[in-house]
Structure 1
Amino acid sequence: MSGASREARASARERLDALADNTSVDAAKLAEELAAVTALLDREVSLRRVLTDPAQTGEAKAELVRRLLGGQVGGETADLVAGMVRDRWSRSRDLVDALEELAAGADLVAAERAGALDDVEDELFRFGRIVGSTPELRAALTDKVAGRAAKAALVGELLGGRANPVTERLVVRLVAQPRGRSLEAGLDALSKLAADRRDRMVAVVTSAVPLSEAQKQRLGDALATLYGRRVHLNMDIDPEVLGGVQVRIGDEIINGSIADRLAEAERRMAG
């Protein structure tokens, strides 16, 4: 997002955080309703264009939202969406993207209240790794011919009773309504949102063998010192690393593996 949309999304996040501080607000219900509004505006292109039309006053657009959603969603959801359409958006699609993010954020609030945010974050990462290593599963979850109900049922078979309900809801919504993203990109975005709930960065740590708890603690402390923020470690095992670790944070890769050092030595010898 750029310009006005970025500012509008930041304002929407602040409103969600304010709701999250109110424990009387049902975060799971808020997430479900925001997801329904997201689906509505994703389908109705003309409606979302009206709701982001800079020629219309913010109050007029907010009133339209209240008329459309009144009786369909709770007051908190209607107020949140009304506040969003009062702001200016660079593109109409940006409003839908922000709503989808808020829906996921509300579900993560529910997980945080239950003390399960770390579990959800880890489960999203592990599910992403399973999808990445199982082409048949990825094909089934991204099949454009298969209906949303069939994909949701498949996710239920895979995660039902094995993962936190929040994890299952997030993955079901992602596969049912990918909105042009790859499954991997969607899961990665959800993992980052979960980390942001605790103001943490996410590091994917690849090693040849599992690290001990003491090693993970030292690595996490070192990365936190380096980046000035808490860093959540998602652990992955790859025997080809041979030794040491490889750390990826966003687009940045920190290599400390034996394989990487051997490759560097070979390049120097070849030079």
Structure 2
Amino acid sequence: MAGVTSESLAALATELEPVLATADLATADELFAALDVIDSSAALRRSLTDPARSPEERASVVRSLFGSKVQPTTARILEAIVSKRFRKERDLGDAVETQAVAVVTAQAERSGLRGLEELEGALLRFRRTVLTSHEVQRALTDAQAPTESKQRLAARLSPQVSDGARLLIDRAVTSPRGVRPSALVERFAQAVAARQQRWIAQVTVAKELDSAYQERLLASLNRYFGRELKLDVVVDPAVVGGIRVQVADEVVDNTVSARLNDLNRKLAS
């Protein structure tokens, strides 16, 4: 997905962030169910992606089709999605899938970094288990096999996982949308990993930091960012001195190299 679709996904991520903060797994389940309806009807996809229709007209189609059948939160997410433009009809379904996974990921995030790590770990363990057995791969990709049998097999291969992981694994094995279940699970895991960057402070310094300094630095960063972070320390002599910290898109750069670059820019202007 590129161009206009990428712009739409970026806009949705920002617009729906407050919604994700309170959405539950039932919302994710409803989004997946809506995705099945959208995928099953070419006419509906054309209607929901028709650039000749206004965003409100496309949202009206969603309300008439899903409004009485889903939670208000689900309807709000679907309306937000169809209000955006997409390069291809397929991209609309991908956007719904992306938001369903985002709901599951946000729900895990309410437990902090540990919740995200557990969700990602469960997905990757399942993927590794599937890839070690050609027999399992054939069973999960057999178009004639009942959905329930695939779910039972997936449950045996991934016992004692969270409800969120179960939802995503079941989705991958029953409705992979043209890709292998293991590939879809990996895509889901990548989305969880991307969310974890919000909790990881990448610290760049010129030389190794001792453990005592790292503890003090971590405590300070936790206070500054208002959450419990995990340090990822990178040693780069090119920074000369000072420290650079990045958490998601926020950067605090107090390195000597950054100050020198800033000075050079001022002198050149």
What displacement does 1:76 show? 1.4
What displacement does 1:145 show? 1.2
Q: Which residue of 1 aligns with 2:95?
A: 98
Flag structure 1 segments of 5+ consecutive residues without an equivalent: 202-218, 232-271
Q: TM-score with structure 2 length normalisation?
A: 0.71
| 1:85-112 residue CA offsets vs partner (Å, 9 max, x unmatched) | 1211111110100101111110111111
Q: Which residue of 1 aligns with 2:221?
A: none
Q: Which residue of 2 aligns with 1:242?
A: none
Q: Which residue of 1 aligns with 2:8?
A: 8
Higher mean C-alpha deviation, range 48-57 or range 181-190: 181-190
SS at match of 1:163: coil
SS at match of 1:221: strand
Q: Which residue of 1 aligns with 2:189?
A: 191
Decide whether aligned partners of structure 1 residues 224 and 127 sit closer, same or farther in structure 2, where only a CA change above 3 A counts: farther
Partners of 2:178 and 2:237 lie apart in 1 by: 37
Q: Which residue of 2 aligns with 1:35?
A: 32
Q: Which residue of 2 aligns with 1:19?
A: 19
Q: Which residue of 1 aligns with 2:135?
A: 136
| Aligned-partner residue type, residue 20 of structure 1 | L
Flag structure 2 segments of 5+ consecutive residues without an equivalent: 200-230, 239-244, 249-269
Is 1:163 aligned to 2:175, yes or no? no
Is 1:89 aligned to 2:86, yes or no? yes
Q: Which residue of 2 aligns with 1:146?
A: 145
What is the aligned length?
211
What displacement does 1:159 show? 2.2
| Aligned-partner residue type, residue 127 of structure 1 | F
Partners of 1:37 and 1:28 lie apart in 2 by: 14
RMSD: 2.8
* 8 Å Cα contact 2:5-2:86 kept in structure 1: yes
Partners of 1:16 and 1:222 lie apart in 2 by: 33
| Aligned-partner residue type, residue 122 of structure 2 | E
Larger radius of gyration: 2
* Aligned partner (choices 41, 44, 54) of residue 44 of structure 1: 41
Identical aligned pairs, as a percentage? 32
Q: TM-score with structure 1 length normalisation?
A: 0.71
Decide whether aligned partners of structure 1 residues 108 and 142 sit closer, same or farther in structure 2, where only a CA change above 3 A counts: same
Q: Which residue of 1 aligns with 2:233?
A: 221
Partners of 2:236 and 2:137 lie apart in 1 by: 34
Higher mean C-alpha deviation, range 92-101 or range 4-13: 4-13
Decide whether aligned partners of structure 1 residues 223 and 199 sit closer, same or farther in structure 2, where only a CA change above 3 A counts: farther
Partners of 1:64 and 1:181 lie apart in 2 by: 29
* 8 Å Cα contact 1:16-1:106 kept in structure 2: no
What displacement does 1:66 show? 0.8
Is 1:175 aligned to 2:173, yes or no? yes
